[in-house]
A = this chain, B = another copy of it.
Amino acid sequence: MFKEVEQQSPHHVVIVGGGFGGLYAAQTLAKAPVKVTLIDKRNFHVFQPLLYQVATGGLSPGDISSPIRAVLNRNKNTEVLMGEVISIDPKQQTVKLRHREIKYDSLILATGVSHQYFGKDEWADKAPGLKTVEDALEMRRRIFIAFESAEKETNVEKRKAWLTFVLVGGGPAGVELAGALGELAHGTLKEDFRNIDTSKAEIILVQSPDRILPTYPPHLSAKAQQSLESLGVTVRTGTKVINIENNLVTVRQGDIVEQIPTRTILWAAGMKASGMANILSECTGAELDRGGRVIVNPEFKVPEYDNIFVIGDLANYSHQDGKPLPGVAPVAMQAGQYVGHLIRKQLKGKTMRPFHYFDWGSLAVIGKHAAVVDFGFIKFSGFLAWIVWMFIHVFYLIEFDNQLIVMIQWAWSYFTRSKGARLITTPGEHPIIQLEDDTDVQEPVKV
């Protein structure tokens, strides 16, 4: 039976995006009588929940990445293609890459999100976000150049600006980044400098809503804020960023407008769906929500197209509890599995139970020894929460790599971060040229 299907040229599933959604879909289809092609712009999968560790010098990019080919190389029905989809023709059932066209029978789009600046794109260079490995390396470069520059700066005002870090956004990403930065300044780097006291660094987390981690229960938000404060982070809730210039952030809290001189501004606020959503919308008329995400039906399909699926952060799935599912890894994984199974069932002419997202809970880590956990039935914080956070991250890491070794490697790195990956690297030969000329430091790296 399987052989027969193969001979009549098997059903071709094209997956765009090698994040959690795409990889889980591919894994679910590994033994199905289909041909799978996974297309990604990058040759590697990134474990995004740990990107902030790369940005703060705790882990190397290689520690949190796996080559997509290596993850899928045992799936004999699967081909991996490094490339970028530039258009879709839903009538002809093709996706177009720069130099070729690929025909599909089913199409799964899972290209995720990037950060956005709420219409203030000019802020992007001044306040880099954290979605790719390159973003993380750029953050790392800025953070460590700030300490190096402070060490050399003799002017008190200027030194203070180098030692002031403003983080915009108090969701899990901003909170984890702030915690890691607090730990860096107050612990890891403490002995390394002679002219500055890194524990005097000001780390300011600016959050527009009235509490951080607003999707968590209020008492966990309070715990998280306490933990951050114990790491020397100043948490400013109810505070809106109204302008970002070079070396200056303007915030408003109630009626009070304030300017904060700083050389390092990090962005962990807005997300918008990747460009794929617009491509799809143009080709199929699919409706997008305010964040640019594709509004999908209960089977993750684009209305009117029975064979185009959108999953992960790219999708707005509002068929459970009425509000959209959150943009987190477990949602993408479960959607990837669901769509994989759905395609298998449909090929056999069977139906599938409706999708139901099982919420394992929410986690955020604050520094090295504290976290907050919300499993719905149980909510807790502190060191135990941190252990749980470790365990769950490890679990999902090895799910792909299937190698305890990889887990051990980054656990080591994590525990021993005192000697971590604190490299200031740039593609040029002489990064110091940028460092010493103050006005150039905040210029972003461009190819």
Contacts and interface: CB of A to CB of B under 8 A. Distances in A.
A408 B431 CA distance: 30
> Can you tell how many copies of this chain the complex includes?
2
Interface in A124-154: 132-134, 137-138, 144, 148, 151-152
Interface string A421-433: 1111111111111
Nearest to A421: B62
Contacts of A447: 426-428, 445-447
Interface string A292-329: 00000000000000000000000000000000000000
B421 A42 contact: no
Interface string A39-83: 001111000000000000001111101110110011000011111
A31 interface: no
A191 B134 contact: no
B65 A423 contact: yes
A437 B98 CA distance: 8
A84 interface: yes
Contacts of A419: 66-67, 70, 401, 403, 405-406
Given A148-B82, A416-B405, A446 B423 contact: no
B445 A133 contact: no
A47 to B, nearest CB: 12
A290 interface: no
A97 interface: yes
Given A73-B191, A406-B416, A421-B61, A134 B426 contact: yes
Given A84-B430, A409-B409, A430-B84, A421 B65 contact: yes
Contacts of A416: 403, 405-406, 409
A144 B43 contact: yes
A424 B152 contact: no
Contacts of A433: 84, 98
A426 B432 CA distance: 19
A427 B412 contact: no
Nearest to A400: B419
Contacts of A259: none
A436 interface: yes
A137 to B, nearest CB: 8
Contacts of A415: 405
Given A133-B425, A192-B70, A409 B412 contact: yes
A435 interface: yes
A378 B403 CA distance: 39
A412 B421 contact: no
A420 interface: yes
Nearest to A416: B405
Contact of A81 (B133, B152, B191): B152
A120 interface: no
Interface string A89-127: 000000001111000000000000000000000000000
A372 B403 CA distance: 31
Contacts of A70: 192, 418-419, 422
Contact of A60 (B62, B81, B83, B97): B62
A99 B435 CA distance: 11
A424 B60 contact: no
A413 interface: yes
A98 to B, nearest CB: 4
Interface centre among A132, A415, A428 (most CB of B within 10 A): A428
A412 B410 CA distance: 11
Contacts of A3: none
A193 interface: yes
B423 A74 contact: no
Interface centre among A100, A427, A428, A437 (most CB of B within 10 A): A427
7 contacts: A42-B424, A42-B431, A43-B424, A70-B192, A84-B430, A409-B413, A427-B446
Nearest 5 CB-CB pairings of A with B: A62-B421, A60-B62, A60-B60, A69-B192, A428-B447
Given A401-B419, A409-B416, 4 more contacts: A67-B423, A70-B418, A84-B433, A84-B436
